[in-house]
Structure 1
Amino acid sequence: MTIEDKLATCLWFDGNGEEAARFYVDLFPDSSIDRIMHAPADYPSGSTGNVLLVEFTLCGRRFQALNGGPNFTFTEAISLSVDCDTQEEVDRYHAALSAHPESEACSWVKDRFGLSWQIVPRIMTVLLNDPDRAKAKRVMEAMMTMKKIDIAAIEAAARG
């Protein structure tokens, strides 16, 4: 077992974990459904034979979708961040993942399963960390007005 095999992010779903895993795998490159485990016995939120756990890989990273039932839901306290190189990537992931426009702000979206995502152009991180703090401030202030990040607009803000 390699060190990479020791850690997987487990996401709790209410019976739709396989649907979510398949949606994510179809959206991201270097992704796959690795194993689907069916419940060998009845459990509090399901029955024998139901999909209990889906192990999947997104962009080379391990995840699990646990069909744990309605007891817990996602909050914005955790999100998955997607680094994007182009506006086309930002637009694609934003369109695919955004299911709750009223909850969007500063690159954050919430998908149809309730999971929060950050769709972040790499240039934004570079500009926010610029040693010219006035430039970084302008970028931050521009970002704070956006739902979906507009790369041209943050680059314009950086230029002043």
Structure 2
Amino acid sequence: MSGKIQKITPCLWFDKEAEEAAKHYVSIFANSRIGTVARYTGEGKDIHGKDEGTVMTVEFELDGQRFTALNGGPQFPFTEAVSLQVGCADQEEVDYYWTRLSEGGEEGPCGWLKDRYGLSWQIVPDVLPQLLRGDPEGAARVTQAFMKMKKFDIAALKQAYDGQ
């Protein structure tokens, strides 16, 4: 992994799909890579229940952001209480990340989706916070518009802001 120390590294708990998920995410995001893969030993099997040699953790980077994926078992599935937010410069990026991350998962409202592993993502156009900070009436129209959307449509959000 990169030489720079990152103080906070999200650890994503999977049942047994950590390596598969890390490879999937790395295939989606530019400037991404798999790092160290650690495997369970025979020690502690009475606690973790994993066979010796199976993947325990995978270190990976998505566009320079470090993550750890852990095969910890089925006890703690993902919920919407934690999500990863992807800022998108334009509609092409919104479409790309929405399509790639929702494949095999499920689309949700207001730019939210769950990927094939149950992890929640928010695919958010960079312009959205600007539209919500601007004119209060325009911001209200934008909110009303995006509440009806699944994947964000930047042109429709801008039209809503402008009152069209």
User: What TM-score range do you get, normalising by the shorter chain?
Assistant: over 0.9
SS of aligned partner of 1:35: strand
1:71 aligns with 2:75: yes
1:151 is aligned to: 154
Report how far residue 126 of structure 1 moved: 1.0
**Alignment RMSD:** 1.6
CA contact (8 A) 1:11 1:66 kept: yes
2:128 — aligned with what? 124
Given that 2:133 and 2:139 are in contact with CA atoms closer than 8 Å, whether structure 1 keeps it comes out as yes
Q: Which whole-Å CA distance do the structure 1 matches of 2:51 and 2:150 have between them?
A: 41
DSSP-derived class of the 2:48 partner: coil
For 2:118, the aligned partner's letter is G
89, 95, 105: which is aligned to 2:99? 95
Contact 1:52 1:68 in 2 (8 A): yes
Give me the whole-angstrom Cα distance separating, in 2, the residues matched to 1:22 and 1:107: 23
Kindly provide the amino acid, as one letter, of the partner of residue 92 in structure 1.
Y
- Identify the residue that residue 135 of structure 1 maps to in structure 2: 138
Report the counterpart of residue 35 of structure 1 in structure 2. 36
For residue 6 of structure 1, give the secondary structure of its aligned residue in structure 2.
coil
Q: 2:27 maps to which residue? A: 26
- Residues in 2 aligned to 1:6 and 1:137: alpha-carbon distance in whole angstroms: 37
Cα deviations across residues 78-134 of structure 1 (Å, max 9, x unaligned)? 000000011111111111111443x5000000000000000000111110111x100
> 1:142–1:71: structure 2 CA closer, same or farther, 3 Å change rule?
same
Contact 1:108 1:117 in 2 (8 A): yes
Q: 8 Å contact 2:109–2:151 — kept in the other structure?
A: yes
Q: Deviations over 1:10-59 (max 9, x none)?
A: 00001110000000011001111011001122352411110000001111
Gaps of 5+ in 1: none
Query: After the TM superposition, which of the residue ranges 141-150 and 5-14 deviates more from structure 2?
Result: 5-14
CA contact (8 A) 2:105 2:117 kept: no
Judging changes above 3 Å, is the alpha-carbon distance between structure 1 residues 142 and 4 closer, same or farther for their aligned structure 2 residues?
A: farther
Runs in 1 of length 4+ with deviation above 3 angstroms? none
Aligned length, in residue pairs: 158
CA distance in 2, matches of 1:159, 1:89: 23
